[in-house]
Amino acid sequence: MSTDFKAAADAILQRVTTGEPRVPGVVAMVTDRKGNIYEGAAGVRRMGGDQPMTPDTVFAIFSTTKAITGTAVLQLVEEGKLDLDAPAERYAPDIGKLQVVDGFDAQGEPRLRAPKRPVTTRMLMLHTGGFGYDFFNETYNRLAQEKGQPSVVTASKAALLTPLLFDPGDKWEYGSNIDWCGQVVEGITGKRLGQVFEERIFQPLGMTQTSFAPSPALLQRMASMHARGADGALTAMDFALPNPPEVDMGGHGLHATVGDYMRFIRMWLNDGMGEHGRVLKPETVRMAEQNHLGEKKITMLPGVIPSLSNDAEFFPGLSKSWSFTFMVNDEEAPTGRPAGALGWAGLANLFYWIDRQNGNGGFWATQILPFGDPVSFVGYLDFETAFYRSLQGRKAA
């Protein structure tokens, strides 16, 4: 790694944790195919506290959980135990009971009807299954407010049993699809999702700091959640996901260190091979990284609940697709990320990229709501840009 990049990255972390407005603390790392080439941490785990943010800090990683669930699905496809195009209810029967909500009647009751076709696991992997999130969708938000539909962060079975927003396969909408992928995995394996991850993903990758139900040792190193007010000020929150959860939520439920997640990113850079064994076959990785949405495209995520999310979009104006199970930027991004690279994010302003072409990936972790935080998100984009500038400089040299 160039000393120029280390200096630039360190300066970005310092700026975002000391400027105004700022983030309380951040951990950021970059890896190549062999190992981490940058590890940075700045700020504190909790505003007003004296515990510094360190590389071994534990985060609620929210939707960066999704790609790990997608990996477990792909393993079962490899083994011939899962047909992506079969009705998902074959493996998770409850999904077959869900109906489509077509608005509300004059009394404010949801109008429900049967879906035109069954939900398949392929649709779930691509976010075309018909599910959404209440913080990105007005209908789900209304069902939550008026009908008591539980939030996914309750990690409850009831939170999964939402109506479909449209007929399965009709369009892309980001939502609780990957939680249902977790249910498919549990239905096939007969084990809780966390146990499947432990045996089939975490052990071969050497991921010892990742869990749906963090141990006391992990909890001691947890960063606190913070809320950004309309005035830009931060408030520490006593927010925690249920521990242990009723359901291991494949869409958002993991806690992890950034260093552990880098091991997962390296597996994708290394054609499915982990530090202690193979996780996916090379041909599976090459298949999975392609755009599987066809002509459908990813749309902006509208912030329906302002305390949880701003309007958010990666690289506005650029075409973006979906793979199994990452966003794909179809064109080179302003940061320098090449066309065809993979990436995504987590609700508390965690962001990552996986560039298989150049053999690198990065992860930026904060614990701030709402999503799309201007300070954290811009800091992340600056971090990624600094990395690609240093990469171009080395190529030129």
The three-class DSSP label of residue 367 is: coil
pTM for the whole structure: 0.97
| pLDDT exceeds 80 at position 254 | yes
Q: Which of 63, 323, 376, 390 is catalytic?
A: 63
Chain Cα centroid distance, residue 317: 22
Q: How far apart are CA 248 and CA 156, in angstroms?
A: 9
For CA atoms 288, 289, 295, 300, the dihedral sign is: positive
Name the residue ranges covered by the structural domains of the chain: 3-66+197-396, 77-186
Residue 336 has pLDDT above 90, yes or no: yes
Confidence of residue 394 (pLDDT cuts 50, 70, 90): confident
The number of residues making up the chain comes to 397
Is 63 a catalytic site residue?
Answer: yes
Q: Is 281 a catalytic residue?
A: no
Distance CA 299, CA 321 (A): 9
Among the options 38, 91, 133, 174, which is catalytic?
174
Q: What is the pLDDT of residues 296-325, one digit of tens each?
A: 989 899 999 898 999 999 999 999 999 999
Question: Catalytic annotation on 140?
Answer: no
- Whether 331 contacts 325, CB under 8 Å: no
Q: What pLDDT is stored for residue 397 in this prediction?
A: 63
The single residue of 38, 66, 140, 309 carrying the catalytic annotation is 66
| CATH 3.40.710.10 assigned to 3-66+197-396 | yes
Angle between helices 66-78 and 177-189 (to 10 degrees): 40
Least Cα distance to 279 among 261, 259, 257, 264 occurs for: 264
